[in-house]
Amino acid sequence: MRAQTLLEARWILLILGLCAVATCFVSVWLTLIFLTLVVFTIAFFRDPERPVTKDPNLVVAPADGRVSDIVELDENEVLKTRTRRVGIFLSIFDVHTNRAPIAGRIVYRQHHQGLCLDARNPHCSEKNEAMTWAFENLHETVVVRQLTGAIARRIVAWANVGDELKKGERFGMIRFGSRTELYLPLEAEVLVKTGDHVSGGSTVIARLPD
């Protein structure tokens, strides 16, 4: 387990642990339920190491999950141009750390208040609470947007504007089911399709033009 990620679960684990201890004097079944929730929480906050491609033209997935949509639209917050968006839905069974899709410097980070609609809702991208990031290097700038869901209500940021990140390096997480979006230039060749399951930091999402 990675300490920084597991630290995000400290209060949840403390409460569940205290409940397990308290209920052992009342009901063995209740104790087993709380212990099961402890195991599930530890599993949810797992954060494995991943092999990362060194090819500077390849963009990796910023999150684990299933590709829910690939659409062409305007990205008006940072790039202010037409882009191709790859949406990734994270279930409660996916690893929830977010990773840099390219190597580069964080040039933008902005938190937005909003609703907590189901992350599978097509309107959640415009209405849900979100954190927008922009990663820039000598070749390209790409945008990542973290979105809360009906269960996920906490976006955690581990990096700041000005930080230099390696490709696949962790910059934050979203707790308990959510959505992560990647905004790419139209010239990028998308290498995944809707329905594919991707692994953050490891699965190649797209190839940037030379």
Catalytic positions, written as ranges: 178
Helix, coil or strand: residue 28: helix
CB–CB of 161/57 below 8 Å?
A: no
172 by Cβ neighbours in 10 Å (0-12 / 13-18 / 19+) ranks as buried
Indicate the helix (H) or strand (E) that contains 23. Answer: helix 10-23
